[in-house]
Amino acid sequence: MIYLDNAATTFPKPMSVRNAVVNSISNYGANPGRGGHDLAVRASEIIYKSRSKTADFFGEKDAENVIFTSGCTHSINIVLKGLLKPGDHVVVSDMEHNAVMRPLYALKKKKISYSVARVSDVSSDETLENFRNALQENTRLVVCTHVSNVWGTRLPVERITAMCHQYSIPVLIDAAQSAGVLGIDLDESNFDYICMPGHKGLYGPMGTGILITKHHDDLETLIEGGTGSNSALFEQPGTSPDKFESGTPNLSGIAGLGAGIDFVRSVSCEKIHAHEINLLAHLYDRLEKNKNIILYTPRPNVYNSGGVLSFNVKNHDSEEVAAVLNRRFSIFVRAGLHCSPLAHLHHSTEETGAVRIAPSYFNTISEMNVLAASLKKI
Ligand code: PLP
């Protein structure tokens, strides 16, 4: 079996992550923050440790600015629905996932509009100008994915943020494909809102996600409820993270996420990124020699790419290719539109979709060779 669908969720998870999940369920599975007994206190400590590790890993000084969610979609919804008001305008890149586009589409009913800025395939200057030109007087937020989940394209998010800050416009970065792969230092980059899953490049369990922001006072809550704090009040606590973390937390997920961050740290983002790019560049070279393969992007490299590469086999639907890889060769990849129809319009693949290869730190060059050889047989 060769698993190459790590852009959806990483698999396998490191042994330390599996152990952390089992340990939490087996040894201290009480409700954190909901009781003064020893087991509840131990559970709270684990959540606190994971929160501190997350803050430290991303260069966020205050651990209370780290909000645990159920995934990147949840984090993005907290910002979009918590911040935007009728009459507001948003600029997004043409690489955004439906985790951004569907909430924005739903918000149209509340008179919130958006414009799309095209990402240039050749020049980050051009991308920056496209974003600048899309800004309006009522632009309240710019949303930009860090790495396209379809094409692996790396967007100039630091430059876009600096430009938006000249106009006092906050920026939401969707780090779904970059967290744990590209080093992110919030102290330097100044992203206002960064949303990410815990279950992809951070190697945590599914059902985990993170939002990091200093600007939580600007956000209304999506849900309210018990937090274990200020219980005498009906009013939702106004301070982060309690303001956004109502209900029993995902203790085993958050314990696993902490172990995932330890794993990434022990290897380093630089090494993980270089490994993934090395695999994809090797695959690219093999696919380039195959006359039946259509490649859409330049050869992956550490400066312009994340760990994702998509292509098509001439005269074949992408879903059909993925099904054959699955059935005949036990190679697991994702085909179709990858929840990102906008990104497919970018390379005119909205009808066929594309076959996506997304390795993790655990994949190997020999697996790339097996994939290339299997594609030759199709
Ligand atoms: N944004 C991008 C770019 C993604 O690739 C994904 C998932 O694939 C998401 C958002 C949604 O992440 P989650 O499934 O954790 O909600």
pLDDT in tens, 115-166: 999 999 999 999 999 999 999 999 999 999 999 999 999 999 999 999 999 9
User: Please, are residues 89 and 139 in contact by the beta-carbon 8 Å criterion?
Assistant: yes
How far, CA to CA in Å, does 256 sit from each of 59, 106, 107, 239? 20, 33, 34, 25
Q: Is the pLDDT of residue 35 over 80?
A: no
User: How much is the pLDDT for 120?
Assistant: 96
Binding site membership of 72 for ligand 1 (Cβ less than 6 Å): yes
Mean pLDDT of 305-316: 97
The domains of the chain, with CATH numbers, are 15-266 (3.40.640.10), 268-377 (3.90.1150.10)
Protein residue with its CA nearest to atom 2 in ligand 1:
176
For the segment 220-235, the average pLDDT, to the nearest whole number, is: 93
pTM over 0.95: yes
Long-range contacts of 28-37 (CB under 8 A, 24+ apart): 29/251, 29/252, 31/248, 31/251, 32/228, 32/249, 32/251, 33/227, 33/228, 33/229, 33/249, 34/226, 34/228, 34/248
**Which residue among 77, 97, 208 is best mutated to probe the pocket of ligand 1, counting the most ligand atoms within 8 A of its Cβ?**
97
Give 187-216 pLDDT, tens digit per residue: 999 999 999 999 999 999 999 999 999 999
| Of 203, 358, 157, the residue nearest 277 (C-alpha) | 358
Averaged pLDDT score across all residues of the chain: 97
The C-alpha angle with vertex 259 and arms to 258 and 263, in degrees rounded to 5, equals: 120
Average pLDDT over residues 285-295: 98
| Half-sphere CA count of 215, side-chain side, radius 13 A | 17
Ligand 1 mean position, distance from CA 35 (Å): 34
Protein residue whose Cα sits closest to atom 8 of ligand 1: 8
CA distance 337 to 188: 34
pLDDT at 34 over 80: no
Average pLDDT in the 229-254 region?
95
- Phi, psi for 172 (deg, rounded to 5): -105, 125
pLDDT tens track for 76-116: 999 999 999 999 999 999 999 999 999 999 999 999 999 99
Measure the CA–CA gap between 41 and 185, rounded to whole angstroms.
Answer: 31
